[in-house]
């Protein structure tokens, strides 16, 4: 059997975040088991997509659900859905947008690498506002007969003066324009699975492979029935813009198992467990000369989970922040951490397996002591 070891691929302890580059998250046994069962039998993929979607929609208090190849793949099919609706000729023609709505509105403050998934459909991003402030009249002025949707990137990607999501939904809906929320990393809190759509968003899009701990190549589009139907038509196995973003039967059952697990999790217990780890790290690390560690909250994506922020006095420690980060990654076991502001690093407990918090602490102490 091929293994990471046999391929000479270095296993990494992830004290960083649910980074795609590191593999997102680790799948719990119930998810793996569902994928294994799915892998053993042929089914009609569209039928499975419908049934899994119905089940997840029910579980998450949504009208409908489409299982995508990831949040980015979900954005592609959801934008395509807003452009084409259920018009089969338009679906077949994409990304040729002749005669179709070809503009998507975005706050300038929210522009980020993931908006490539929006542009992939061929639409033009129309920016509104400034990094620090966006006005309601700027949104109203940007909406016209070519507007296919408004995309909203929730969480830490926004600006301090953005129009509120409630207002964006109100104004857009008054003009008949759908609103899509990229909530890829917006779990926890678990309520976000229904919060944005209950606010009126036409769809909220989540990664399956981040905190949900489903398959890395899976995602959720949760929302209105018309939009989910149009996502399915713009997705595999149909010949469509979403055809290359295939979702396998294993991903579908695996994601369903992950959603069931996530809804049943003791989220409060988990949060206090994370707090205990962070407190333990801070206490131990602050004993080192030239090191100061404190609890940081919320996390990098704005989620209500703590991290430890560790500051180094390079003159005392004798190594730069960059050297410590690289040292952690180059040593064995390899540990990935996130660089922070002012020569600090963040230690994140949420992506660790049980007991790894001790390994992370020991490795960091080792790096600091040189
Ligand atoms: C991670 C992320 C995505 C992409 O999610 P995938 O499931 O990896 O496709 C999109 N948008 C944001 C804001 C993200 O954080």
Non-local (6+) Cβ contacts of 262 within 8 A are: 187, 190, 211, 212, 213
Question: What is the chain's mean pLDDT, rounded?
Answer: 97
Domain definitions of the chain by residue range = 12-20+266-369, 42-264
Q: H or E segment at 336?
A: strand 334-336
342 pLDDT exceeds 90?
no
For 198-240, what is each residue's pLDDT tens digit?
999 999 999 999 999 999 999 999 999 999 999 999 999 999 9
* Distance (Å) from CA 74 to ligand 1 centroid: 9
CATH of domain 12-20+266-369: 3.90.1150.110
Ligand 1: residue of 114, 115, 183, 213 to mutate (most ligand atoms within 8 A of CB) is 114
Same fold, 12-20+266-369 and 42-264: no
Nearest CA to ligand 1 atom 1: 184
Ligand 1: residue of 155, 183, 185 to mutate (most ligand atoms within 8 A of CB) is 185
Q: Which atom of ligand 1 is nearest to the CA of 219?
A: 7
Q: Which atom of ligand 1 is nearest to the CA of 206?
A: 7
Cα separation of 215 and 223, whole Å? 21
* Distance (Å) from CA 239 to ligand 1 centroid: 24
Query: How confident is the model at residue 269, as a pLDDT?
Result: 98
Quote the pTM value: 0.97
Cα separation of 343 and 341, whole Å? 6
pLDDT (average), residues 23-48: 98
Contact by Cβ (8 Å): 305, 350: yes
**CATH of range 42-264; options 3.90.1150.10, 3.40.640.10, 3.30.450.30, 3.90.79.10:** 3.40.640.10
327 pLDDT exceeds 90?
yes
130 pLDDT exceeds 90?
yes
Beta bridge partners of 296: 307
370 pLDDT exceeds 90?
no
Pocket of ligand 1 (CB under 6 A): 20, 70-72, 114, 153, 157, 182, 184-185, 207, 209, 219
Non-local (6+) Cβ contacts of 344 within 8 A are: 309, 310, 311, 312, 321
The DSSP secondary structure of 3-24, one letter per residue, reads: -TTTTTPPPEEE-S-S-GGGTS
């Amino acid at each position: 059997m091929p293994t990471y070891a046999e391929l000479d691929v270095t296993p990494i302890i992830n004290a960083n975040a649910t980074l795609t580059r590191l593999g997102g998250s680790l799948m719990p046994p119930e998810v793996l088991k569902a994928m294994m069962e799915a892998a053993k039998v042929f089914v009609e993929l569209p039928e499975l997509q419908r049934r899994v979607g119905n089940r997840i929609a029910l579980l998450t208090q949504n009208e409908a659900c489409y299982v995508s190849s990831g949040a980015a793949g979900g954005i592609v099919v959801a934008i395509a859905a807003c452009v084409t609706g259920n018009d089969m000729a338009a679906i077949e023609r994409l990304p040729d947008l002749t005669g179709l709505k070809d503009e998507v509105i975005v706050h300038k403050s929210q522009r980020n690498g993931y908006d490539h998934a929006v542009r992939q459909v061929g639409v033009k991003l129309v920016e509104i506002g400034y990094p620090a402030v966006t006005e309601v009249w700027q949104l109203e002025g940007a909406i016209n007969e070519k507007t296919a949707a408004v995309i909203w990137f929730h969480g830490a990607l926004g600006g301090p003066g953005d129009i509120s999501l409630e207002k964006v939904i109100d104004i857009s809906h008054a003009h008949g324009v759908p609103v899509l929320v990229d909530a890829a990393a917006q779990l926890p809190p678990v309520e976000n699975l229904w919060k944005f759509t209950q606010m009126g968003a036409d769809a909220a899009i989540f990664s399956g492979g981040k905190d949900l701990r489903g398959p890395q190549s899976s995602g959720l589009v949760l929302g209105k029935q018309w939009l989910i139907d149009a996502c399915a038509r713009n997705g595999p196995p149909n010949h469509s813009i979403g055809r290359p973003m295939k979702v396998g039967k294993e991903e579908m059952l695996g994601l369903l198992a992950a959603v069931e697990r996530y809804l049943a999790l003791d989220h409060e217990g988990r949060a206090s467990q994370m707090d205990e780890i962070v407190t333990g790290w801070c206490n131990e690390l602050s004993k080192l000369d030239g090191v100061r560690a404190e609890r940081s909250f919320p996390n990098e994506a704005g989620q209500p989970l703590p991290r430890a922020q560790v500051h180094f006095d390079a003159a005392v420690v004798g190594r730069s922040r960059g050297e410590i980060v690289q040292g952690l990654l180059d040593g064995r076991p390899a540990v990935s951490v996130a660089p922070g502001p002012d020569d600090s690093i963040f230690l994140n407990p949420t992506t660790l397996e049980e007991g790894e918090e001790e390994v992370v602490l020991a490795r960091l102490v080792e790096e600091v002591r040189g």
